[in-house]
Amino acid sequence: LRVPDLLHQIGRAAPFIRGITVSGGEATLQAGFVEALFRAVKEDPALAALTCFIDSNGAADPMTWDRLAPLTDGVMVDLKSFDPEIHHRLTGQGNADVLASIRHLHHLRRLHEVRLLLLAGWNDDPALIRRTGEWLATVDPTMRVKVIGFRLHGARPHDPPLVEPTAGRLQEAAAILRATAPFDIAVI
């Protein structure tokens, strides 16, 4: 797909939407394409009012964020775990780049929200959630945080089996976060 093709599709939908969000595998791996798309949207008089957001795992380097920031209205960053070892077990990578991205995007005023995807028995320990909240509060104690429960639908088989968190567990995590700072919290 090329940018003009997408612009045509976005133009047809524009009367019914407020913005666009790029996601997928990891949108920042296609930073040049995202930059070209967002620039085209911003420069098109019929589309310029649309917001341009990025849904990211946060593993991009600061130069990528600096490149995209002028054309981006906000970034939603997934933080799989504040604990680097758990993050590595979940993703195959450490979390240093993700944490650096959260700080950098906040500095650029482009951090829209941090998303905490909770997976029962992996990253939902109350002490870990508290440490996560304490760290996030050092970045911005009023930031938007979404607590999202992992869903099995579409997940590959895993050994040991992955387990969805209960609604009560998600609410407990939100309460722990609220006790660390006055975050704007949503539970999904």
Question: What pLDDT, in 10s, does the model give residues 43-82?
Answer: 999 999 999 999 999 999 999 999 999 999 999 999 999 9
Q: Which residues pair with 150 in a beta bridge?
A: none
Q: Kindly give, in sequence order, each residue whose CB lies less than 8 Å from that of residue 101, ignoring residues fewer than 6 positions away.
A: 56, 58, 59, 60, 62, 65, 77
Q: Please give the Cα distance from 4 to 19 (Å, whole number).
A: 17
Q: Which residues pair with 43 in a beta bridge?
A: none
Mean pLDDT of the chain: 96
Q: Please give the Cα distance from 2 to 36 (Å, whole number).
A: 10
The model carries a pTM of: 0.94
